[in-house]
Amino acid sequence: MGRSPTVFPAEDFDEESDAKALKQAFKGFGTDEDTVIEILAKRTNDQRRKIAATFKTMYGKDLIRELKSELRGNFEDVIIALTTDPIEFQAKELHHAISGLGTDESTIVEIIGIHNNEDIINIANAYEGLYQTSLEADIKGDTSGHLKRLFVSLANGHRDESDDVDEDAARKDAQELLQAGELLFAGTDESVFNMVLCQRNRPQLRRIFHEYEEITGHSIEQAIENEFSGTIKDSMLQLVGCIRDPVDFLATRLHDAMAGIGTDDRTLIRIVVGRSEVDLGEIKEVYNTKYNKSLAERIEQDTSGDYKKTLVTIVG
């Protein structure tokens, strides 16, 4: 389990009675949605997969296929997300971000920026298994220039995973970033930014950002604003935000998904489901402090029906 989950293993868990209850919920005309929510939103992913395996044994039917035929719209999407293997779910989300109309760079930064090397490698393997092409090949085919290089570096999972901080090395890296950017007479040496952002561990990067500010009197974000433009600038700023504070970054992503007209349901589902067994408890707290409203309240305002009920149950 993660540091502050909102979904915990159900006590007295009995996959057989859960499978029976779900089968009963699908019977007759219409579906008993409340039972579906009560079971699937209150079990861990591991427990849901045990229910699916038992359902297959007892009834000879695939639970995900049954759910897809019974449910509709965003409610179907959130329930399918809950019953999908977490690594496979992230691989599918990346595929959608890359293969849709245009590229959803923010989602790529979010998924690759939040996960550790091991997860990224597992997501890339799952991606290849699902789509018979590598994640790297698809990124290369869908992006170009500095953005392509940044995403390919991130997708290879080469980040140092230790928590060691070396102040001298941080100062040296900060100097190098300065030389490659603001002190460079013409243009920017993007490769230095790429190498530092994609290879150093997170605590080290936070130290590098601090040193940069000490030397220049302004933040690394300001330097990126000055040196880059367009999508690469936006992606680098998001990556820096993700490195500085992943929980704050995800709280902001949730806020942005529900701000303005319409809702980015895909992002809402991905973060709520994907972080429910990791740090959604912390994300909720940060959201509350930052936006003076609880995440559950915001979701209730922005969504409806069984979809709303499911999300609010997961958020707790």
Query: Is 291 contained in some domain?
Result: yes
Residue 235 has pLDDT above 80, yes or no: yes
Lowest mean pLDDT segment, chosen from 27-36, 37-46, 82-91, 228-237: 27-36
The answer as to whether 123 is a domain residue is yes
Does the structure show a pLDDT above 80 at 232? Answer: yes
State how far the alpha carbon of 284 is from the alpha carbons of 91, 242, 292, 294, in Å: 25, 16, 11, 7
Structural contact between residues 89 and 274, judged by C-beta atoms closer than 8 angstroms: yes
CB count within 10 Å of CB 218 equals 13
Total of domains in the chain: 3
| pLDDT band at residue 2 under the 50/70/90 scheme | low
Predicted confidence at residue 1, as pLDDT, reads: 56
Q: Which of 185, 212, 244 is the last residue of a domain?
A: 244
Residue pair 235/146 in contact (Cβ under 8 Å)? The answer is: no
Find the mean pLDDT for residues 263-278: 97
Indicate which CATH number applies to the domain containing 133.
1.10.220.10
Q: What is the pLDDT of residue 28?
A: 76
Whether residues 198 and 238 share a domain: the answer is yes
Closest CA to 251 of 240, 242, 263, 262: 242
The residue segments making up the domain with residue 192 are 167-244
Burial group, residue 129, by CB count within 10 angstroms (0-12, 13-18, 19+): exposed
In a domain, 79, yes or no: no
Q: Once rounded to an integer, what is the mean pLDDT over residues 19-46?
A: 94
Of 134, 155, 176, which residue constitutes the final position of a domain? 155
Tell me the percentage of the chain whose pLDDT exceeds 90. 86
Asked if residue 225 and residue 279 are part of one domain, the reply reads no
Domain check: are 121 and 147 in the same one?
Answer: yes
Of 212, 244, 276, which residue sits at a domain end?
Answer: 244
Q: List the structure tokens of 297.
A: 């309240």
DSSP 66: H
Q: Compute the average pLDDT of residues 76-82.
A: 98
